[in-house]
Amino acid sequence: MRTKLLTVALLLSCFSAAAQQGPFDEKFKIWLGAFRPSLDTSIQWDTPGGIIGDDITFERTLGVDNTKSTLNAELQWRFFSKHSLHVRYFNLERSGTTDVPLEVTIKGITFPIQTPTSSFFDTEVFSMGYAFAPIKRDNMILDLTFGLSIQDISLGILAPDINFDEHSQVTAPLPTLGIGFGYAFAQKWLVKVNGGWFQLKVDNIKGKITEFRAGIEWHAFKNVGFELAYNVFEVDVDVESAEDAFLGSLKYQYEGPLFGVTARF
């Protein structure tokens, strides 16, 4: 009889522990949200013959949108209590037309003032990574992360009046190192802060990536919550030699609010 009572007590304790799952114990987490960043994109487009292009901005010089909304998607799998994998994807496409406000040189060609120009700058980002939590408690977690962020960048500039029609693509796989902190300050509320940085040179491409994100999350329902955050992301890419691809340097930064819905199970 005593053995049966102990068995029942043990089973009840297991069910109780499962029911009291902490805010950082979910096995799977899916995040879908909207991101509306302000953007600043600068470029220096050179020629293989050694002609250095001017440093221009797509937003102020070429009339590309400096803010635009896009969707983000993230997936996390916690395969052990302190170990998890995550993936993230978003795509941002922008274009614009303008009469250039100053004389500039792009890929060896001089654009006179007021040259009618159309352009585009598209960014597709796929990130994946692994996180280890050296500190993990019921209401707090500290993560160390290592991952890979693949930046697929497409750009183009068209100026029919001077017979200029150029477009190119750069794919920069950039490793990332980061740290994350989460704290549940109430039963249904938690704050999260994440930061990452890395710099690497591979063949003819040198890149640097910096990211910071801070937000607050409300677990409104058992498996569904809402998050409001602010994200800052910056990428520097230098291409030192190329035949048909882009040659030069580009830098883009975007920052702005995120609002998302989180499903946990």
Please tell me which residue, 5 or 23, carries the higher pLDDT value.
Answer: 23
Report the share of the chain in percent with pLDDT over 90: 67
Tens digit of each residue's pLDDT (9 = 90 or more) over 87-125 = 999 999 999 999 999 999 999 999 999 999 999 999 999
In the numeric block, which tokens belong to residue 34?
């909207």
The CATH number of the domain where 244 resides is what?
2.40.128.90
Length of the chain: 265
Look at 90-94, 172-176, 231-235 and tell me which has the smallest mean pLDDT: 172-176
Q: Is 15 part of any domain?
A: no
- The partner residues of 54 in beta bridges, in order of sequence, read none
Kindly report the pTM of this predicted structure: 0.83
- The partner residues of 141 in beta bridges, in order of sequence, read 136, 182
Q: What rounded mean pLDDT belongs to the chain?
A: 88
- Indicate the number of domains in the chain: 1
- Would you state the pLDDT for residue 229? 96
Domain that holds residue 49: 27-264
Instruction: Give the integer Cα–Cα distance in Å for 255 and 229.
Output: 11
Q: Tell me: pLDDT of 10 over 60.
A: no
Q: Is 118 part of any domain?
A: yes
Q: Tell me: pLDDT of 17 over 70.
A: no
Q: Is 7 part of any domain?
A: no
Q: Is 13 part of any domain?
A: no
Mean of pLDDT values over 141-167:
94
- Would you state the pLDDT for residue 241? 65
Spatial neighbors of 122 by CB under 8 A, at least 6 apart, are: 91, 92, 93, 94, 153, 154, 155
Q: Is 18 part of any domain?
A: no
Instruction: Give the integer Cα–Cα distance in Å for 11 and 4.
Output: 11
Q: Tell me: pLDDT of 252 over 60.
A: yes
Nearest CA among 111, 148, 106 for reference residue 246: 106
Spatial neighbors of 7 by CB under 8 A, at least 6 apart, are: none
Q: Tell me: pLDDT of 16 over 80.
A: no
Q: Is 12 part of any domain?
A: no
Mean of pLDDT values over 179-204:
90
DSSP structure string for the chain: -HHHHHHHHHHHHHHHHHHT--TT--SEEEEEEEE--EEEEEEEE--TTSPPPP-EETTTTT---SB--EEEEEEEEEEETTEEEEEEEEEEEEEEEEE-SS-EEETTEEE-TT-EEEEEEEEEEEEEEEEEEEEEETTEEEEEEEEEEEEEEEEEEEEGGGTEEEEEEEEEEEEEEEEEEEEEEETTEEEEEEEEEEEEEETTEEEEEEEEEEEEEE--SSSEEEEEEEEEEEEEEEE---SSS--EEEEEEEEEEEEEEEEE-
Q: Tell me: pLDDT of 238 over 70.
A: yes
Work out the pLDDT band at 81, boundaries 50, 70, 90: very high
Work out the pLDDT band at 4, boundaries 50, 70, 90: very low
Spatial neighbors of 12 by CB under 8 A, at least 6 apart, are: none
- Would you state the pLDDT for residue 136? 95
Q: Is 17 part of any domain?
A: no
Work out the pLDDT band at 21, boundaries 50, 70, 90: low
Q: Is 93 part of any domain?
A: yes
